[in-house]
Structure 1
């Protein structure tokens, strides 16, 4: 069959690519990027052999990839994909299931239900919570803020579903000075207004300063961070959540990558109190190393969650906690399947080992960088290493040199208005040797500046 031959060929191309990640450039060279012009075609008029399309994709697409699926990529907290998760994704893609509800896919509904239980277990979050397996922490965060706002308005007797927001009591959103841009994006889309956000001052580590905490009342959504994006720190959850709940507020925690510190026996203490919140978001495609488009919206108030995102139609009703009632999408692929596969293949100890190892490797990296004259700006509590050469032009020159070398890759950031650069250790493929190669590559680049 043509279809089977085509899939087998795609699998061969994919296998060859995976086999090359240890040796290929981390960032493509100029020739590979120029080769992308081969895709500049007019829309074909006639049907063609599907194999020709696949060949084009491999010949000119593969060389222009960033090898984020390898061990020497240190940008953006992007983890490689675990073999079990990648294989499960491949099989689930062949199944071509619409993972919206049990009637559309009994297998997807069952596996994602099991994945829900396992995620709540390994992250030690309230077991009555429900999880929507969405595309990203961005989409999941937007969902959780919508649930929070609806719940607070409902407590005041306002039906936002029927009456909208015109004339409604104001719901306030409190964020920290270092809150991630995706929360600000959600705030814009939901109409909170960036100029109306209540901004909590932060300390030198970018964490909410308890001594300067703004006033919180029963119409406030408080958004905290598990894993500040630059220094990797954790807000003081226990104290702030206690204050917020006594006032009647809702607490949401953005834990896109840092929430997985709870899976490490050595690092769980950093997250003490986070389980007291009302909702959380985290990604599988960061520190759990699942394929992209794999994130989780987690909410302790299951009924409020499902009511807010309910999408039952006259032709498509489903069980209350069907995934279509827990995510933004009505039709969706079962993103929880590779998350289930990653957890099943690693087990509790495997996840602990991976997270702990990355934290230790980040320490190894920070020590090595200090030894070659790089200033490390954080205490490296988990897997983030924030650095500077003390000069914006030198930082920029270093980044250009590293990118051109193809040996490793990491990116720029800002801290207190200054240009800095950030390295994240989050790939299951990263070895201590890769860390040492990264240090050597940076030392070599420094010699050219």
Structure 2
């Protein structure tokens, strides 16, 4: 057995041991950053070490600072637990070590990504032939789509962005909802737009853009236009009314972008597809497979209706590069990258269309069950209509709500994260993991029921 085999064997054993602890270990880490820096930092040793011993020491030192994200009771942020097929495929991606920008260089992984992209278009009811660029996550997916949008709407106005730049370009309007995700503003900042240049449209009590408010906003201006809509508000899970909003935007010749980091996948479920009605009439869509599809991190998708718009924004030069029509580096910001779409291919092939629908339905069912259990606890209020996978709740005061959030993390049964909704503190539970069971929900509800008594005692004392 050579050095590589020994190191891989140790990694497999240690990974299996970690995954075997998920049901019992505290969900939140038991060490902070300073402790982990103490474990891993210090001066770089002068002499190296055997790879196997490095892997074994790494796992031992890391354990207190690891979060049980792959388990069934991590409900923080919107983070899925990795599906077995995706995890195994991801290991192979690292072993294969393919630079997956060009189909001429790495035809296997590019073919797998192209197949996975086509499957996604079919599952989500999006236009056949759209470009699917695999990027790092939802943030870069939004950036990638909005970059294509900026290039395209300026081209419609007779402005070639690639040659003439932005300095003297026509004034471009960007319209967003009041409850958009922060990654939209951040993507726009990357593209040169300040917050003063963004038109914000009012939203309802669930975070859905108001149709009449969009109509008013678009009537008040002219010029190249991008409208950003949302599939799955990050606190409430609510979906914009695409059937009403997209036609309004199109009447004003807008490029319509949909941020659907986790919500786009509702279209794969026959019972939830109604939430995305009209979404396919947009021009671009962003999503993140590490959320609802449960692949490892580093797998967002930027989907653009017309691949020519992606190519106009991203195709690069270089006489040493090999072009073949439509390669990954033609539709994303990267040249060199790992084959991040392979785990998506693996989980889609493992589940099939019915399995994806069942996964999405199960996440929604779990969210409803969690909301029902929490609402049965005296003094706890569920704040949103649970239409998808998000549950938001609070106690009677901000102090008690924040204290409850701290207590559940310290107690260790589950992880939920804090939020603020309409000026008041809240806690947010996101159902994103294939591993969550009804027993996980029951354990979490029981933990909250126990902890609320302690919180009331402290905050009232």
Is the TM value for this pair above 0.5?
Answer: yes
State the 1:445 CA deviation: 0.7
1:91, distance to aligned residue in structure 2 (A): 0.8
8 Å Cα contact 2:270/2:357 also seen in 1: yes
| Contact 2:104–2:322 (8 Å) recurs in 1 | no
The aligned counterpart of 1:177 is: 178
1:254 and 1:332 mapped to 2: Cα distance? Answer: 24
* Superimposed CA distance per residue, residues 253-305 of structure 1 (whole angstroms, 9 cap, x where no aligned partner): 00000011111111000110000000000000000000001110000011111
> CA separation in 2, counterparts of 1:171 and 1:357?
42
User: Is the Cα contact below 8 Å between 2:218 and 2:252 reproduced in 1?
Assistant: no
Shift of 1:33: 7.4
Instruction: Give the stretch that moved more between structures: 38-47 or 10-19.
Output: 38-47
Residue segments in structure 1 that go unaligned for 5+ positions in a row:
none
* C-alpha RMSD of the superposition: 1.3
Match of 1:336 in 2: 341
Q: Which moved more, 1:178-187 or 1:320-329?
A: 320-329
Conserved in 2, the CA contact under 8 Å of 1:305 and 1:326?
yes
**1:278 and 2:279 are equivalent in the alignment:** no
Match of 2:424 in 1: 418
Q: Which of 377, 382, 385 matches 1:379?
A: 385
Provide the rounded CA distance (Å) in 1 between the counterparts of 2:324 and 2:173: 32
Structure 1 64/237 Cα, relative in aligned 2: closer, same or farther at 3 Å? Answer: same
Name the structure 2 match of 1:112.
113
Which structure 2 segments of 5+ residues have no match? 456-461
Partner of 1:251: 256
Aligned-pair CA distance for 1:31 = 8.6
Q: Does 1:300 align with 2:305?
A: yes
Q: Does 1:369 align with 2:370?
A: no
Task: Give the equivalent residue in structure 2 for 1:147.
Answer: 148
In structure 1, distance between residues paired with 2:342 and 2:317: 23
Residue of structure 2 aligned with 1:353, choices 353, 358, 362: 358
1:137 aligns with 2:138: yes
Whether the aligned pair in 2 keeps the contact of 1:218 and 1:247 (CA below 8 Å) is no
The alpha carbon displacement at 1:188 in A equals: 1.1
The answer to whether structure 1 residue 215 and structure 2 residue 218 are counterparts is yes
Q: Is the 8 A contact 2:89 2:346 kept in 1?
A: yes
Task: Give, in whole Å, the separation in 2 of the partners of 1:158 and 1:221.
Answer: 15
The match for 2:439 is 433
Q: How does 1:23-34 map to 2 (within 5 A)?
A: 23-30=24-31, 34=35
- 2:315 corresponding residue in structure 1: 310
Aligned equivalent of 1:394: 400
Shift of 1:34: 3.3
CA distance in 2, matches of 1:291, 1:139: 16
Describe how 1:12-31 pairs up with structure 2 within 5 A. 12-30=13-31
Partners of 1:31 and 1:115 in 2: how far apart? 38
- Which deviations, in whole Å up to 9, do the C-alpha atoms of 1:342-387 show, x marking residues without a partner? 1000111111111101111111111111101210011100110011
8 Å contact from structure 2 (residues 151, 313) kept in 1: yes
TM-score, structure 1 length as denominator? 0.98
